[in-house]
A and B are shown apart, each in its own frame.
Chain A
């Protein structure tokens, strides 16, 4: 059974121990015939048994059935008791616990009113006639046996070898009555059971006991005999199907009467050679759940001649055993689930929505109507106005705009701050902008750098952007030449600080540990931190001031968040592009003074140059800036007027 190859002469599998050669069942059958004949002879000679012990005399020899039905022993032992034949043949072999159980059972009263639910199956087979409350299904079963007209093997008084085992399983003293009852439901009959005649089920009155009250009442009121009582047809060959009229005339429950008989062709025309079986009828809800063509609706029990004898394994020698191949080997359709989806209305709506969205994505968007001519004219016209406005002051020097007489309030604070810086402390200037903003920030920061370098403050520059160091050289170049700064002596470029915000925090905590190697250093300078400017700088607060020139508010915020807590009293100043000022100004106007000075925009830079008294890039570009700003304002006004005109025309009734 396990598939392990074994020697040809081997009787059992070396791996699983399964029997490889079939047992000689012919001898067992012959023995069974012998003991059966003996039993019949003894039964004819002896009076009918009236007690459990009497029935045991009709038991066949235990040894004769050992080889034929080993499972009978197992079943009997499993139900908690042994057969009487066992008790007779080997009373000394019975264990002590079994003896105690039997004694205890024997002491129990026979008129137990309420059997345990778990013993319902046993009670159905061994219902005592002395019971005051017999189960209705047992009564129906008994009535069905009585109603059988044809000579039935059940009418035989000879007990079968298996019946005492069932009686012992029921563990009730009145095995004689129990042996006449049908086997309990669910117990599968073996081929030998079908072959052997079943004992006749006798009515309870014949056993000398009083019939149940409800049964007597039924007989007296309706005048229906026990033979006319409804019964469930036995699932055995030879059982006759009662007529529908018989069932309908009886006092069936209402719910049972409402069930209409379902005509089944297979039931009306039984197959040739197959036993007469009651067709199984399924409720409608169960029929709907049944997968189509996945299993057979009618259980076909093959006749005895067609049933093969098991040849291997622990069931060797038994016939009519259930085959394992249909379960484990034959492919079958899964009976779980259904081929149709159960879609709710909400799910269907969502699916439709998704389907519609996908369809819309696949559709080509209609081409927009071309309006390029008018749009290009407007664009070119605006561009021409702007370019002319910028070029005229540069090319012709006109128009000229007056320099601002007012200055931002924060400019004075910044100017004073730079004026108070100590000359012995270097100033760190961070150039954090890209090349595209160099034209603006060089003009804005020019006056600021001019003031510091005019005072002779040592400067150290650095950047958190790769291009920032080169832009720092370009921005500082005019003032380096003007004020004769010497590279490595009073000005130095620390270079590129890689790492973003994390590097800024690291630089604020310990500038020397930051990987700064300098940029465009003179050849005699080997280490940037060994220059005269930075040799005394250990922490960020050793700088006299930190100035950040940036076009991005994010960069200014990073320095305010990461560096400011480590700067101590060293002020932080930012020089900003005009577009970044609104987002940085709160850091300046707060009472915490995160940013100590702010410079933004060309007007502030011009005012700074005026304070310095030295014209610079801001004043150089002031006229062009003023002209193009005027042009831009005019263009904006023209656009607003055009929009109002369109809006007014849309509101007018015409």
Chain B
């Protein structure tokens, strides 16, 4: 470990400890570390945007084309128009000129919404709906997991119950008062019945799903903590070795 790497590792270790000092509550060391993190991240992102996007995407094509090349239709479409939109979007910084940036914002939001909705329908909604229907076929074999026979049948039943009861839970999420059931309208009381059972099962599936997600997040966080402790220990031993 050379000196530069040792100094960088030492500073990183100190900053890690400053962040972990939040354990004793909000303190200036934690705030200093947060401000440094936000400032460095913002500066780095700005530098990347300038060097990887603005200069190669807008500045260099104009400089290479020169004044005669500005009349090139391809350059106008690919560079000049985006440059105008960028300038208009930049006008959003001032309230008096913010309205001129609406054109750029409209283009961004409109195109983005179209891409998101289209992708969600063709890439998520339709494929996953068809997959949910395919699970009702016990004879089908999952090509990736290799499930078949009883295992596949049990999996299909679980998926079917989970899907229906989860939808049931969201469909019949109502207040306790004035609950309308197939049998009667009961006010101010929880109704025992098939609807409540289905709703409870769906609630259980949702709880298990969120529990798994939370457990995964906790496990990821503990892995990061272990990596940080390992890093601090490596830095300490490196400093000791360099001193010694």
Contact = CB atoms under 8 A, between A and B. Distances in A.
Given A517-B56, A593-B143, A437 B224 contact: yes
A590 interface: yes
Contacts of A391: 229, 233
Contacts of B197: none
B52 A561 contact: no
Given A390-B222, A515-B57, A593-B144, A560 B227 contact: no
A430 interface: no
B228 interface: yes
A565 B122 contact: yes
Given A581-B216, A591-B134, A602-B219, A394 B226 contact: yes
Contacts of B120: 561
B222 A517 contact: no
Contacts of A379: 23
Interface in A455-474: 466-467, 469-470
A625 B134 contact: no
B98 interface: no
A466 B123 CA distance: 26
B11 interface: no
A500 B56 contact: no
A470 B45 CA distance: 11
A519 interface: yes
A467 B119 contact: no
A371 to B, nearest CB: 14
Contacts of B115: 501-502, 505, 562
Interface in B190-217: 209, 212-217
Nearest to B119: A561
B233 A395 contact: yes
B112 A624 contact: no
Residue among B123, B214, B228 having the largest count of chain A Cβ atoms under 10 Å:
B123
B225 interface: yes
B82 to A, nearest CB: 10
Interface in B131-160: 131, 134, 140, 142-146
Contacts of B57: 515
Interface stretch (A29-37, A86-94, A572-580): A572-580
Nearest to B155: A589
A436 interface: yes
B127 interface: yes
A561 B146 CA distance: 25
Interface size of A as a range: 35 or more
Interface in A351-389: 376, 379-380, 383, 386-387
A496 interface: yes
Contacts of A442: 227
A589 B52 contact: no
Given A466-B44, A589-B142, A498 B49 contact: yes
Contacts of A560: 123-124
Contacts of A580: 216
B230 interface: yes
A601 B219 contact: yes
A390 B224 contact: no
A628 interface: yes
A413 B212 contact: no
B41 interface: yes
A495 B52 contact: yes
Given A467-B41, A588-B144, A624-B226, A501 B217 contact: no
Contacts of A557: 123-124
A383 B216 contact: no
A452 interface: no
Contacts, number: 162
A440 B224 contact: yes
A383 B220 contact: no
B119 A558 contact: yes
B67 interface: no
Contacts of B32: none
A436 B224 contact: yes
Contact of B224 (A439, A593, A629): A439
Nearest to B48: A466
A586 interface: yes
B218 A394 contact: no
B218 A632 contact: yes
A283 interface: no
B127 A624 contact: no
A58 interface: no
A436 B227 CA distance: 11
A289 B44 CA distance: 74
Nearest to B134: A591
A592 B230 contact: no
Contacts of A200: none
A443 interface: yes
Interface string B9-49: 00000000000000111000000000000000100110011
Residue among B25, B214, B216 having the largest count of chain A Cβ atoms under 10 Å:
B216
Given A467-B45, A505-B119, A594-B123, A440 B223 contact: yes
Contacts of B44: 466-467, 470
Nearest to B208: A582
Contacts of A592: 127, 130-131
B240 interface: no
B53 interface: yes
B223 A394 contact: no
Interface string B45-86: 100110011001100000000000000000000000000000
Residue among B49, B209, B219 having the largest count of chain A Cβ atoms under 10 Å:
B219
Nearest to A559: B123
7 contacts: A394-B233, A502-B115, A551-B220, A557-B124, A577-B220, A579-B219, A592-B130
Given A394-B226, A589-B131, 7 more contacts: A440-B220, A440-B224, A466-B45, A591-B131, A593-B144, A601-B216, A628-B225
Q: Give the 3 A-B CB pairs with smallest separation, nearest first.
A: A561-B123, A439-B227, A578-B216
